[in-house]
Amino acid sequence: MRKILTVVIVATIVSALIQAVGAQGPPYDLILRNGRIVDGSGSPWYRSDVAIQGDAIVRIAPSITESAARIIDVAGQVVAPGFIDIHSHAREGIFEVPTADNYVRQGVTTVIEGPDGSSPLPIAEFLAKLDGLQKTINIGTFIGQGSVRAAVIGLVDRKPTADELAKMRALVEQGMKDGAFGLSSGLFYVPGTFTPTDEVIELAKVAARFGGIYISHMRDEASKVLDSVKETIAIGERGGLPTQLTHHKIIGPANWGKSVDTLQLVDEARRRGVDATMDQYPYTASSTSIGAALLPAWAQEGGREKVVARLKDPGLRADIKAEMVRTIQNERGGGDPKNVVLARCEWDQSLSGKNLAEVTRMRGMEPNIANAAEAAIWIVEQGNCSGIFHAMAEEDLRRILRHPATMIASDGGIPIYGQANPHPRNYGTFARVLAVYVRELNMITLEDAVRKMSSFPAQRIGLTDRGLLRPGMKADIAVFDPARVRDAATFEKPHQYAEGFSTVVVNGRIVLDSGNITAARPGKVLYKGR
């Protein structure tokens, strides 16, 4: 009888334990089974399962047989860390399109804003606004040197006073305390172009104290590109912080091939201990405004009203036009007005997609370079347009991409689907690297491409909990078929999403499920040092 009673008691206890375990639910929220793990480190891929609990990866093993709230058999697809875009203009659109479909559908889970010297001020207000937004992806920011200078001394070409420099230092310090990942500059743009190197170095020293990096749209990417690379390296070297040549490129046929020399400068700097790196998008066309690209810097001083006033002065207009002719011939225009395409014109949307030769004809002129400069002046007078500039060489692109110190970044934003004629990099950057330069051309390995998109940018800005597939890391994950992944967006038809990504996870939540955007909005604002 005692034995029977003992058996009954034990059975009751076991049953209670089973019920208790069952009440707690399965041990994992999500398991990705049968994956081809490309972990972001650059190491060779391997087969394994990945288990997620909450917002973190908790286990990676050859076979995870326990239950989960959701199990996805990825059937040999690549399981990689979510991609990190270190040069994004995501504030252009994230409040209108918080799902960021164009990024999610190419495996991007984190974007870093505030590039090219342009950021909101104060940073804290911007990030607080983002915190209040239900969004799909993670986002952080740099503080922009150009925005800081504009706030203190305006769009003028002069050195700051000692008091003004102190105010700029204080703004950078506050931005870093607010959570910025570093200092960005756009020394090609007004007012960055008016900034002496020593002034940038003084602000870089402030960012350095907080562990930030310096990332720069260099002063010149055409005839003076070597001097600009040297300056970018010097700012990092003398400022005491990592330095990055952002969207590194060589503009203008006369300068093609100079990537041999720019990369040598980076290598030499690294050999002497300068932490210099690069990022790049995989297209031979750039994108910025018509005015910023074609007008000489001196003509842009003081803002739009002064620009228009100069264009009304016959003598100044002639000088401006002469400079624009040179730029169309030798630099951003690549020697032919057809190479300049209007991307977005707020004042006349019908112009989007037309090239400068076509606009010149519309203005009743033959499409030679001098007349194209006149048409470009008209565009600026009417209100300016963003443009796409076909003036780079594929061989320079490939040489830069192969370099071990180059990571991938889109230089894109979050477009409203179907509106205007944006650069296809907005939709295809990361997928294009995987499709063209990994699969088709076999230029870089799959593992290295993923490293350039994940752990490398994460390490660059100090994201210690993202960019790798490891237990304990945040569960930002992209799943794709390496045989099918491709960029569908073209210059002619840019509003086409990347293909081949089946599942994307952000902070443990599925945001792309069987190729469909879900209702989950798990994106977080990321802060430096937090």
Which of 387, 416, 451 is where one domain is finished? 387
Task: Give residue-wise pLDDT tens across range 410-425.
Answer: 999 999 999 999 999 9
Asked if 478 and 431 sit in the same domain, the reply is: yes
Asked if 219 and 97 sit in the same domain, the reply is: yes
Is residue 491 one of the residues assigned to a domain?
Answer: yes
Asked if 370 and 236 sit in the same domain, the reply is: no
What radius of gyration do the chain's Cα atoms show? 26
- Residues 6+ positions from 327 with CB-CB distance below 8 Å: 293, 294, 333
User: Is the Cα dihedral 329, 333, 339, 343 positive or negative?
Assistant: negative
Asked if 359 and 411 sit in the same domain, the reply is: no
DSSP state for residue 486 in the 8-state scheme: B
Is residue 523 one of the residues assigned to a domain?
Answer: no
Which of 333, 368, 387 is where one domain is finished? 387
Is residue 61 one of the residues assigned to a domain?
Answer: no
pTM of structure: 0.94
Task: Give residue-wise pLDDT tens across range 380-407.
Answer: 999 999 999 999 999 999 999 999 999 9
Place of tokens 């002034």: 199
Backbone angles phi, psi at 36, to 5 degrees: -100, 100
Residue 190, pLDDT score: 97
Residue 529, pLDDT score: 84
CB 13 within 8 A of CB 427: no
How confident is the model over 29-35, as a mean pLDDT?
98
- Residues 6+ positions from 334 with CB-CB distance below 8 Å: 252, 253, 389, 390, 391
CB 421 within 8 A of CB 490: no
Distance CA(166)–CA(150), nearest Å, equals: 14
Asked if 364 and 432 sit in the same domain, the reply is: no
Q: Which contacts qualify for 325-330: CB closer than 8 Å, 24 or more apart?
A: 325/369, 325/370, 325/373, 327/293, 327/294, 328/294, 328/356, 328/369, 328/372, 328/373, 328/376, 329/369, 330/222, 330/223, 330/252, 330/253, 330/254
Task: Give residue-wise pLDDT tens across range 425-441.
Answer: 999 999 999 999 999 99
DSSP state for residue 89 in the 8-state scheme: B
> Does the pLDDT of residue 205 top 80, yes or no?
yes
- Average pLDDT over the chain reads 95
- Per DSSP (E only), the strands in 96-193 are 108-113, 138-141, 143-144, 182-186
Asked if 118 and 212 sit in the same domain, the reply is: yes
Which of 338, 361, 387 is where one domain is finished? 387
**Dihedral over alpha carbons 48, 51, 57, 61 (to 10 degrees):** -30
> Does the pLDDT of residue 14 top 60, yes or no?
no
Residue bearing the bigger pLDDT, 410 or 4: 410
CB 83 within 8 A of CB 106: yes
Is residue 381 one of the residues assigned to a domain?
Answer: yes
Is residue 186 one of the residues assigned to a domain?
Answer: yes
> Does the pLDDT of residue 3 top 60, yes or no?
no
Q: Which contacts qualify for 368-374: CB closer than 8 Å, 24 or more apart?
A: 368/337, 369/325, 369/328, 369/329, 369/333, 369/335, 369/337, 370/321, 370/325, 372/328, 372/333, 372/337, 372/340, 373/294, 373/321, 373/324, 373/325, 373/328, 374/321
Asked if 275 and 339 sit in the same domain, the reply is: no
How confident is the model over 89-114, as a mean pLDDT?
97
When divided into structural domains, the chain yields a total of 2
Is residue 320 one of the residues assigned to a domain?
Answer: yes
3-class secondary structure for 347-400? CCHHHCCCEHHHHHHHCCCCCCHHHHHHHHHHHHHHCCCEEEEECCCHHHHHHH
Distance CA(4)–CA(507), nearest Å, equals: 51
Domain limits at 372?
302-387
Distance CA(30)–CA(167), nearest Å, equals: 50
For residue 357, give both structure tokens.
């030769």
Asked if 157 and 233 sit in the same domain, the reply is: yes
Strands 46-53, 83-85: parallel, antiparallel or unpaired by DSSP? Answer: unpaired
CB 156 within 8 A of CB 194: yes
> Does the pLDDT of residue 18 top 90, yes or no?
no
Asked if 228 and 328 sit in the same domain, the reply is: no
Asked if 238 and 106 sit in the same domain, the reply is: yes
CB 229 within 8 A of CB 129: no
CB 429 within 8 A of CB 281: yes
Task: Give residue-wise pLDDT tens across range 122-180.
Answer: 999 999 999 999 999 999 999 999 999 999 999 999 999 999 999 999 999 999 999 99
Place of tokens 């078929």: 481
CB 459 within 8 A of CB 181: no
CATH of the domain at 118: 3.20.20.140
For residue 292, give both structure tokens.
């910023």
How confident is the model over 287-307, as a mean pLDDT?
95
How confident is the model over 263-282, as a mean pLDDT?
98
Distance CA(500)–CA(486), nearest Å, equals: 6
Is residue 55 one of the residues assigned to a domain?
Answer: no
How confident is the model over 114-124, as a mean pLDDT?
97
Asked if 311 and 213 sit in the same domain, the reply is: no
> Does the pLDDT of residue 479 top 80, yes or no?
yes
> Does the pLDDT of residue 321 top 80, yes or no?
yes
Residue 268, pLDDT score: 98
Indicate the pLDDT class of residue 23, thresholds 50, 70 and 90. Answer: low
Is residue 246 one of the residues assigned to a domain?
Answer: yes
Distance CA(262)–CA(220), nearest Å, equals: 12
Distances in whole angstroms, Cα of residue 269 to Cα of each of 67, 277, 278, 340: 52, 10, 13, 35
Task: Give residue-wise pLDDT tens across range 208-261.
Answer: 999 999 999 999 999 999 999 999 999 999 999 999 999 999 999 999 999 999
Asked if 215 and 99 sit in the same domain, the reply is: yes
For residue 232, give both structure tokens.
């970018």
